[in-house]
Amino acid sequence: MTSSILSAAFERHFGTAPALLLRAPGRINLIGEHTDYNDGLVLPAAIDKEIRFALRLNGTDRLRLAALDFDATYEVALAEVAPLPDGHWANYQLGVVAGLRARGATVPGFDCAFGGDIPGGAGLSSSAAVECGLAWGLNELLGLGLNKMTLAHICQTAEHAYAHVMCGLMDQFASLFGRAGHVVRLDCRSLAYEYFPLDTTACRLVLCNSGVKHALADSAYNQRRQECARGVEILRRHKPAIQSLRDATLPDIATAAAELGEVVARRCRYVVEENARVQALTAHLAAGHPLPEVGALLYASHAGLRDLYEVSCAELDVLVELARAAPGTFGARMMGGGFGGCTLNLVATEQVNDFVAFMTAGYQRQLGLGLETYVTTLADGVGALAG
């Protein structure tokens, strides 16, 4: 959606021109899955799929939203902002307003039109983009002076309190802190972060959208979080220094195996191993991208997510197995929360077309399903658009 189309849509809905236009990207994650809420390491990047926003303060005590992609509007008095039933699209924005106020901000009435090209349910964090775009935009319009890390936390809390997904910080961080041509490693404990260039002349990151999102994905996500918390509780009895799974080692898990039980022990082992894979992968990036080694870590991550963390599904497993046989693949894995969404594939640049053709034909042949693919470009985080 161009800036002029967005402005015209805003004007059609609200009768006046917007004061601010901005964009908020979706994200990929190279490696470090389900580690963020365990104080661990993640390696995401913002991508060239984004939500665009037009905003203006409206001089009333009401907020008015227009969702341009699905032609829906929502309006409420600011004094009455509260969570809507689960699944309502406006929950993300309402959660942001509530979060800004909880930090002491006064949020007056405003109008917001938004729309974009991040496919929903594909695990590319369209909801984080919606949250981060509005939070950043209101911060600008109101001159609140909140820094981006604070905005990320406000948006994460919006997701917890208004969408009831107990997510970590990765998606919101990536949408706000992305940098073109780079992935960024975030230490979710210290909040220290470091950018690593990803050279796309040798390889591209290709997403294969399984097209499925299994119904229990959100509740299974929250359940994994609880299983990890249970693991920490037990591990601490043996070693009080363990504050989170970030502090645990494989021998710690072996020592407590009987009390942990098989399921919780598997979850813990996955998280410990995945953190080590993030370290290994960033070491490879720093040493100049040996692509087969990077790819092997992606395959290993998928195996852990499938067998130990148990958040994959048949469609994602088929895509990863197909990718092994496809032209140009260095590595592949499911990405994001799981139970559907996209696989992430590291593919030799000159073989991307052959890869896509092979995957599309194979997915159709094996599961009778169509496949959308996206060759991603790594983009800057949230920012203003020229009017």
User: Smaller CB distance to ligand GLA: residue 56 or 267?
Assistant: 267
User: Smaller CB distance to ligand GLA: residue 168 or 328?
Assistant: 168
CB 114 within 8 A of CB 158: no
Alpha carbon separation from 287 to 31, 103, 332, 344 (Å, rounded):
17, 42, 21, 22
Sheet with strand 182-187: strands edge to edge: 41-42, 182-187, 193-197
Minimum separation from the CB atom of position 157 to ligand GLA (A): 12
Length of the chain: 387
- Token pair for 115: 């729309």
User: Smaller CB distance to ligand GLA: residue 31 or 113?
Assistant: 31
Minimum separation from the CB atom of position 309 to ligand GLA (A): 10
* Residue 68 contacts ligand GLA per CB under 6 A: no
User: Smaller CB distance to ligand GLA: residue 36 or 227?
Assistant: 36
CB 25 within 8 A of CB 46: yes
CB 374 within 8 A of CB 49: yes
Amino acid identity of 126? S
- Region 9-48 residues binding ligand GLA, contact defined as CB under 6 A: 33-34, 36-37
- Token pair for 207: 């997403």
- Region 328-357 residues binding ligand GLA, contact defined as CB under 6 A: 336-337
User: Smaller CB distance to ligand GLA: residue 58 or 126?
Assistant: 126
Minimum separation from the CB atom of position 84 to ligand GLA (A): 20
User: Smaller CB distance to ligand GLA: residue 211 or 336?
Assistant: 336
User: Smaller CB distance to ligand GLA: residue 136 or 270?
Assistant: 270
Minimal CA–CA distance to 382: which of 125, 6, 46?
46
| CA 67/CA 316 separation, integer angstroms | 30
User: Smaller CB distance to ligand GLA: residue 98 or 271?
Assistant: 271
String of contacts with ligand GLA for each residue 104-133, x by CB under 6 A: ---------------------x--------
- Select from 64-72, 168-176, 299-307, 372-380 the region that touches ligand GLA (CB under 6 A): 168-176
Alpha carbon separation from 11 to 8, 14, 30, 113 (Å, rounded):
5, 5, 39, 9
| CA 110/CA 350 separation, integer angstroms | 48
**Which of 39, 171, 218, 252 is labelled catalytic?**
171
Q: Which of 39, 111, 131, 171 binds ligand GLA (CB under 6 A)?
A: 171
| Sign of the dihedral defined by the CA atoms of residues 194, 199, 203, 209, in that order | positive
Minimal CA–CA distance to 337: which of 97, 173, 182, 123?
123
Minimum separation from the CB atom of position 34 to ligand GLA (A): 5
Minimum separation from the CB atom of position 345 to ligand GLA (A): 17
- β-strand pairing of 340-348 with 372-375: unpaired
Minimum separation from the CB atom of position 42 to ligand GLA (A): 7
Nearest 5°: the CA angle 147, 152, 155 is 125
String of contacts with ligand GLA for each residue 128-167, x by CB under 6 A: ---------------------------------------x
Helix 217-238, helix 257-286: angle, nearest 10: 110
39 is catalytic: no
Minimum separation from the CB atom of position 212 to ligand GLA (A): 16
Alpha carbon separation from 7 to 3, 49, 131, 354, 357 (Å, rounded):
6, 19, 20, 39, 38
Count of residues in contact with ligand GLA, rule CB under 6 A? 11
Minimum separation from the CB atom of position 142 to ligand GLA (A): 26
Question: Which residues are catalytically annotated?
Answer: 171
- The residue ranges that bind ligand GLA (CB under 6 A) are 33-34, 36-37, 125, 167-168, 170-171, 336-337
